[in-house]
Amino acid sequence: MSEHVNICEVGPRDGLQIAKTRMSTDAKVAWIAAMAAAGVREIEVGSFVPPRVIPQMADTEEVVRRSLEIPGLTVIALAPNLRGAQNAYNTGAHKISVPVSVSEGHSRANLNRTPAESVAEMARLMEWVKAQPRRMEVIAGASTAFGCSIDGVVPTAQVVEVTTGLAKAGVDKIMLADTVGYGHPAQIKEVVRAVRDAIGPVLYGLHLHDTMGLGLANALAGLEEGIRAFDSCLGGLGGCPYAPGASGNVVTEDLVFMLESMGFATGIDLPKLLEARALLHEGLPAEPLAGQTAKAGIPKTFRRAA
């Protein structure tokens, strides 16, 4: 049996939040269902942010409710703070992802607070979550862990400090996010090692962007350090409204192609996943889609991992 790698599709959240046009709720749910039918088991379907901040996410409550009806799907929503976590919980989300910026500049621009204040907020959030009767997993996303378009270089020690604070606050898992896509493979390895030394298995996965074309090379570097969970976006959608110059997330279908080719099982059916691009395109016709697998087609050498 092949080793499993977990892919969390974040397109309906990270991908849509900076789209110039809006995708209807029906189109979102159809797209989410198509990806789930292709074997994607975890999807971040929306974000409990105020609609005036990110209008594309205004229907998150409905999208979460309807996604919960899709069999076998783990429904994740982004929650920027305690109130977001409460809304996600009340809507029934299985898990929430909570962004915390490692760099000061991105933290102030994106969340209007310092990294230390975010860690303190996380402790309050975890206290509330753990007091509820239903278990809801909390994944902290450590943004700008590999560079910041505002602050520039983000020292590894700073990533260790913030992630150590988040682990102490009691989060279930931490994703290291290359929010602006400036990271390189040697850095990925260095930071993963340092963070794992500090917090052990609470370090869960990588959230990578393809800004400089290094998305898959960085994923490979993470794999080689034992990382077995990745966020990605169908068609390479994505970006960050508070990270000038950031571009799309690592492309789900290209990541699946790489992983399955290398013998890692993702549980995802690549031809079916490519079909889900049609629904994404229908729902968001003005948005250009990236991805080499869709462009070139699946080569005849491809064999899905056992």
**Residue 143, interface with a second copy (CB under 8 A)?**
no
What is the x/- site pattern for a second copy, positions 194-213, by CB under 8 A? ----------------xxxx
Q: In which residue are the tokens 């590999």 written? A: 146
The reply to whether 182 sits near a second copy by the rule CB under 8 A is yes
Q: Which stretch binds a second copy (CB under 8 A): 64-72, 161-169, 200-208, 259-267?
A: 259-267
Phi first, then psi, for residue 130 (nearest 5°) are -70, -20
Would you say 92 or 105 has its CB closer to a second copy?
105
Examine residue 258 and tell whether it contacts a second copy (CB under 8 A). Answer: yes
Least Å distance, CB 262 to a second copy, is 4
Nearest distance from C-beta of residue 230 to a second copy, angstroms = 13
Which residues touch 285 (CB under 8 Å, ≥6 apart)? 21
> Cβ 288 to a second copy, closest distance in Å?
12
Q: Active-site residue 148, yes or no?
A: no
CA dihedral angle for residue 192, residue 196, residue 199, residue 200, rounded to 10 degrees? 140
CB of 305 to a second copy, least distance (A): 11
CB-nearer residue toward a second copy: 26 or 224: 224
In the complex, least distance from residue 134 CB atom to a second copy, rounded to whole angstroms: 40
CB 113 within 8 A of CB 103: no
CA distance 243 to 246: 6
Cβ–Cβ < 8 Å for 38, 57: no
When binding is defined by CB under 8 A, the residue of 19, 27, 217, 265 that contacts a second copy is 217
Distance CA 208, CA 141 (A): 11
Distance CA 220, CA 93 (A): 30
Distances (CA, A) of 283 to 179, 206, 228: 25, 28, 31
Number of residues located near a second copy, criterion CB under 8 A: 41
Q: Which two tokens stand for residue 218?
A: 């960085």
Q: Does residue 180 bind a second copy (CB under 8 A)? A: yes
288 binding a second copy? (CB under 8 A): no
| Count of CB atoms situated within 10 Å of the CB of 306 | 8
257 binds a second copy (CB under 8 A): yes
Pick one of 50, 55, 226, 245: the residue that binds a second copy (CB under 8 A): 245
- Rounded distance, CA 161 to CA 102, Å? 9
For the four alpha carbons of 26, 28, 32 and 34, in that order, the dihedral sign comes to: positive
In contact, 198 and 172? CB cutoff 8 Å? no
Binding test (CB under 8 A) with a second copy, winner from 133, 201, 285, 299: 299
241 interacts with a second copy by CB under 8 A: no
**Contacting positions for a second copy (CB under 8 A):** 147, 149, 152-153, 180-182, 184-187, 210-214, 216-217, 219-221, 224, 245, 247, 251, 254, 257-258, 261-263, 291-293, 295-297, 299-302
- Which residues are tagged catalytic? 240
